[in-house]
Amino acid sequence: MRKTIIAGNWKMNHTGKDAKETITGLVGRVVQDVKAEVVVAPVFPYLPMAVELTKGTPIHVAAQNMHWEESGAFTGEVSPAMLVDIGVTHVIIGHSERRTYFNETDETVNKKTKAALAHNLTPIVCCGETLEQREEGIMQPWIEGQIEKALEGIGADDLAKVVIAYEPIWAIGTGKTATAAQAQEVCSIIRKKIAALYSADVADSVSVLYGGSVKGGNVAELTGSPDIDGGLVGGASLKVDDFMAIIDNAVVK
């Protein structure tokens, strides 16, 4: 049975006061038996606070990135063991902004995914195409290639712990949203690729999220699609009312 997951990626937003207010607001409104799995991903300095504020609640805390090594001379980086040590449970890997601005590659995404699994962190592995790639008709092989490289060397048992997030780069922070049909088409491609690499049963165990201007008004149509199991939410996760509208309106299969 696939999980429905609503994950909020705060990106480089919210200082301590705003982060505390937002998390406290969510804690007060996310009910204990919430049907969707709720995840918030603040910036690194506020992860310990987020973990402390969400203790005993159904809200999980994610990091927005991590290194694949345990320790070493990697100035500015954070290891998976460090995230586990402070109580983080999820980590976003390979977001398009990391790929575009910080030289993240399919190879580093694979290394980070393996490292996350080795530390019992849930990796939310991102993939997506640019508008140019879509218009050139190479969207499908591009997405399939990202999935194949991200999952290289990962066994079927571990794959059940991986979450995939499809984020069309042209719909991130632009106000544009892929239609539910467009999002479903790509999420179906992702699931079929996983089935080809592993099996249909394994593919059916993997939650595939959609990311790209997800809002309370479109989340029901998106998550009502056969292969979309939730959302990786950007800007709308920064405000309690907006994020709660997404959580409340998500379709749980």
Residue 115 contacts by C-beta under 8 Å, 6 or more apart in sequence?
A: 66, 67, 68, 69, 80
- The verdict on whether 67 is a catalytic residue reads no
Token pair listed for 179: 């239609």
132 is catalytic: no
C-alpha span between 16 and 9 (Å, rounded) = 16
β-pair partners for 230: 5
Q: Return binding residues.
A: 9-11, 173, 213, 234-235
Looking at 90, 95, 104, 129, which residue is catalytic? Answer: 95
Residue numbering of the annotated binding site for substrate: 9-11, 173, 213, 234-235
How far is the CA of 241 from the CAs of 28, 152, 244, in angstroms? 12, 39, 5
In whole angstroms, give the CA distance from residue 34 to residue 15. 27
Chain position carrying tokens 């249909």: 200
Which residues have a catalytic role annotated? Answer: 95, 167
